[in-house]
Amino acid sequence: MSKNEPTRKGSKPIGESGSVSGSGNRRMLWIVIGAAVGLIIILALIALLSGGNDTSTADAGTASSLAETIGQPVDGRLMGDPKAPVLIEAFEDFQCPHCQLFNVALGETIKNDLVAPGIARYEFKHRFVINEGSITIGAATECAVDQGMFWEYHDALFTEIENNASAGLPPGLKRIAADVGLDENTFERCLDSREHYEQMLREDNEARNRDINSTPIILINGTQFRGEFDPEAFKAAVEAAAADAS
C-alpha cells in the first residue's frame, strides 16, 4: 500500500468486495473529504447560531452583583456582615429631597468604607411622609426586592426622581425596572396587583410608633445621627459606635 493512500476501516460501499481500483480509491477519497468539509461547515453554523442566541453565559461572566462588589451578603433591603458591630438604619421616603441628598453624599461611603470592610450593616426602611404616591413607590421597590435587585433599583430610582418627579409615577417606575434589568412582566404584575401595599402601610406604622416622623432619619445602633451629610463625620460616628460595641 502506498504511504499516501488513506486507510479506511469499514468504508467500502455496500456490494463492493475485494480490492478497490485506483480510480475507485480516488473517488472515495474525494467523497470522504467532501463529507468532512460539509460536517465542519454544519458544526460551525450550529456553533454560530447557538452563540448568537444564548447570551446567558456571557452575561453571567460580566455581570457583577452588589454582594460580589462589596464582598458582603445582601438580603433584600439589608446589606452587610450579620456579625458587624454596627447597624445603620435609614428611614427614607423616595420623594424626599433630603433623602436624595443623603444617598448622593453618603451612599458610596456606607457601601465601600463601612459595609465592605465589615464595620456595619446597612438597612433601608420605609417611612412615607410626602403623599400617597410615596406608598406606590415603596411598593415598587418591594417588587424589586422580590427579584433580588432592591439596591440597584433604589439607586436608579433616587437618581431619576431627583431629575424628574414623574419618574415616581407607575409608568416611570416600570421603565426604571426595565432599565436596571428586572423582568418587566413580573414587575408590572407585582406593581399593578398592589400586593405589597399592606406590608408598606404596616412598616410605616411601625416606624411612626418609633417616633420616626420625618425623613431621612438615620440610626446608628439605635442612636440618631444628627450631623451633616459629610463622609468623614459619618464614618467617625459609625467607627465610634463600633468601638463602643466591642
Nearest to 239 by CA among 78, 70, 103, 85: 85
**What pLDDT was estimated at residue 246?**
85
Q: If phi over 0 gives left and psi between -120 and 50 gives alpha, with beta otherwise, what is residue 222?
A: left
**What pLDDT was estimated at residue 59?**
34
Q: Distances in Å between the alpha carbon of 39 and those of 28, 34, 131? A: 16, 9, 66
**What pLDDT was estimated at residue 62?**
29
**106 and 84 Cβ atoms separated by less than 8 Å:** no
**182 and 147 Cβ atoms separated by less than 8 Å:** yes
Provide the residue-wise pLDDT of the chain in tens; the chain has 246 residues: 444 444 434 333 333 444 434 555 555 555 545 555 555 555 554 444 444 443 333 333 323 589 999 999 999 999 999 999 999 999 999 999 999 999 999 999 999 999 999 999 999 999 999 999 999 999 999 999 999 999 999 999 999 998 898 999 999 999 999 999 999 999 999 999 999 999 999 999 999 999 999 999 999 999 999 999 999 999 999 999 999 998
**126 and 207 Cβ atoms separated by less than 8 Å:** yes
Output DSSP code: residue 225. P
Radius of gyration, CA atoms only, the chain: 31
**What pLDDT was estimated at residue 10?**
38
**What pLDDT was estimated at residue 53?**
41
User: pTM for this one?
Assistant: 0.73
Nearest to 90 by CA among 66, 112, 111: 111
- Helix 184-193 to helix 132-146 angle (10° resolution) is 140
Nearest to 106 by CA among 237, 234, 196: 234
For the record, the C-alpha cell of 226 comes out as: 444628627
**177 and 187 Cβ atoms separated by less than 8 Å:** yes
For the record, the C-alpha cell of 83 comes out as: 456579625
Q: What is the separation, in whole angstroms, between the first and last Cα of the chain?
A: 86
